[in-house]
């Protein structure tokens, strides 16, 4: 899809490539929990304090130190905490809808006390439904569920479905005794499938991601965040969880997508060549389960687009990671053109809009944007 830069001023350049984002984030208000919970619970809810070098995250008595990156604050998009301005940012960047994961809400999964987990999660979900999503329909969040008690998790899924949520957020990393392939999660899978909701995992969640401090540590630790997403898929496929719930959809956000077909090949090999050790038996090959039920989002990965035609793995969607540093704000159109300039228009449509709309219900695009999209497609067809 060849579109020139709008800065050139030519007749065709004002037409944007419009996309949905399968990986964005909300920035919660600082008083989200203190304004909604009694003091004895609010003081144990997730909060952060900033020092000279570290940001300290407190979660129910635990302390997690994170090194500060001051320049990140300077690079926040204008609408990172104001939804009205955020919608203007989206129009500028060419993003129609966003699945917006939590920010401070990520830390709720570290709460082990069931009472606190229930209260903190419900306060977050009520804020997301009543304050954030009620004011507009283009940006929607997954619901958070309390993981300290499986019954509470199931109850929150049912509440979330009644209040219009389309997905639930889950962390990629959990303690070994709560690994995602264990049968203890079966009620959660059944409830989520019955509600028609998506299991939305975000990489880098559930634990401290600094696992190595040697040479190249910044790059290594960034890469380390992606591996747990692969483990989630491996566990839910090999354990039979997805096979038992064929309508259940699984999204791994921000971890790239090129690895999914390769992982499917590897799991198939294990299933075939080591069949005498395989328990449980599956009704489909692992790769078939993945092609039917596993989705992945990426931001900048060229390989995520390249593998689609060769492997026929189409469950790929793009994400802008707004408002995070790794995201595309300020250069979204440039990034999309670099990724999709020579790509089959059918794949462009699938990755930028079709996959997202297969998982989520979205509002109709406004007429002026749809005209721009149509004109862009016509230009691609003429190349």
Contact 352, 159 (CB under 8 A): no
Kindly state the tokens that stand for 164. 């219009």
Whole-angstrom distance, CA of residue 364 vs CA of residue 276: 51
What is the number of other CB atoms lying within 10 angstroms of the CB of residue 24? 28
Of 127 and 56, the structure prediction assigns the larger pLDDT to 127
What angle, 0 to 180 degrees and rounded to 10, lies between the N-to-C axes of helices 227-238 and 259-273? 40
pLDDT digits 0-9 by tens, 70-128: 445 556 899 999 999 999 999 999 999 999 999 999 999 999 999 999 999 999 999 99
Do 200 and 167 meet the contact criterion of CB atoms below 8 Å apart? yes
169-173, 250-254, 376-380: range with lowest mean pLDDT: 376-380
Render pLDDT for 297-356 as a digit per residue (tens, 0 to 9): 999 999 999 999 999 999 999 999 999 888 899 999 999 999 999 999 999 999 999 999
pTM, two decimals, is 0.91
Q: Which CATH number fits domain 19-28+78-361: 3.20.20.140, 2.60.120.10, 3.30.465.10, 3.30.70.20?
A: 3.20.20.140
State the DSSP code for 352: I
Q: Tell the burial category of 300 from Cβ atoms under 10 Å away from its Cβ (0-12, 13-18, 19+).
A: middle
Phi, psi dihedrals of residue 54, rounded to the nearest 5°? -120, 150
In this predicted structure, the answer to whether residue 44 has a pLDDT above a threshold of 70 is yes
**What kind and span of H or E run contains 118?**
helix 114-127
């Amino acid at each position: 899809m060849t579109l020139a830069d709008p800065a050139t001023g030519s007749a065709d350049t004002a037409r944007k490539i419009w996309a949905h984002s399968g990986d964005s984030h909300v920035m919660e208000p600082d008083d989200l929990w203190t304004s909604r919970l009694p003091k004895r619970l609010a003081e144990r809810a997730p909060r952060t304090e900033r020092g000279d070098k570290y940001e300290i995250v407190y979660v129910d008595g635990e302390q997690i130190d994170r090194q500060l990156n001051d320049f990140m604050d300077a690079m926040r998009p204008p609408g990172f905490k104001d939804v009205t301005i955020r919608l203007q940012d989206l129009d500028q960047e060419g993003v129609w809808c966003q699945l917006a994961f939590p920010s401070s809400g990520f830390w709720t999964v570290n709460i082990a006390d069931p009472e606190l987990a229930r209260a903190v999660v419900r306060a977050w979900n009520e804020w997301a439904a009543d304050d954030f999503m009620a004011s507009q329909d283009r940006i929607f969040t997954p619901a958070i569920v309390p993981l300290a008690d499986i019954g509470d998790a199931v109850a929150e899924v049912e509440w979330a479905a009644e209040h219009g949520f389309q997905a639930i957020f889950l962390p990629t990393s959990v303690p070994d005794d709560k690994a995602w392939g264990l049968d203890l999660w079966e009620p959660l899978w059944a409830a989520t499938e019955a509600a028609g909701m998506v299991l939305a995992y975000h990489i880098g969640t559930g634990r401290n991601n600094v696992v190595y401090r040697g040479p190249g540590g910044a790059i290594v630790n960034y890469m380390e965040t992606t591996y747990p997403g692969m483990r989630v898929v491996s566990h839910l496929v090999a354990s039979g969880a997805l096979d038992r719930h064929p309508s259940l959809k699984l999204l791994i956000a921000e971890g790239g997508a090129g690895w999914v077909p390769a992982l499917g090949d590897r799991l198939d090999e294990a299933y075939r060549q080591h069949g005498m050790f395989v328990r449980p038996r599956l009704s489909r090959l692992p790769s078939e389960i993945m092609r039917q039920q596993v989705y992945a989002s990426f931001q900048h990965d060229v390989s995520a687009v390249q593998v689609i035609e060769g492997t026929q793995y189409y469950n790929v969607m793009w994400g802008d990671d707004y408002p995070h540093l790794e995201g595309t704000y300020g250069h979204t159109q440039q990034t999309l053109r670099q990724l999709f300039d020579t790509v089959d228009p059918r794949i462009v449509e699938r990755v930028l809009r079709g996959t997202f709309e297969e998982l989520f219900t979205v509002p109709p695009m406004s007429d002026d944007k749809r005209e721009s999209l149509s004109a862009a497609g016509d230009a691609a067809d003429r190349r």
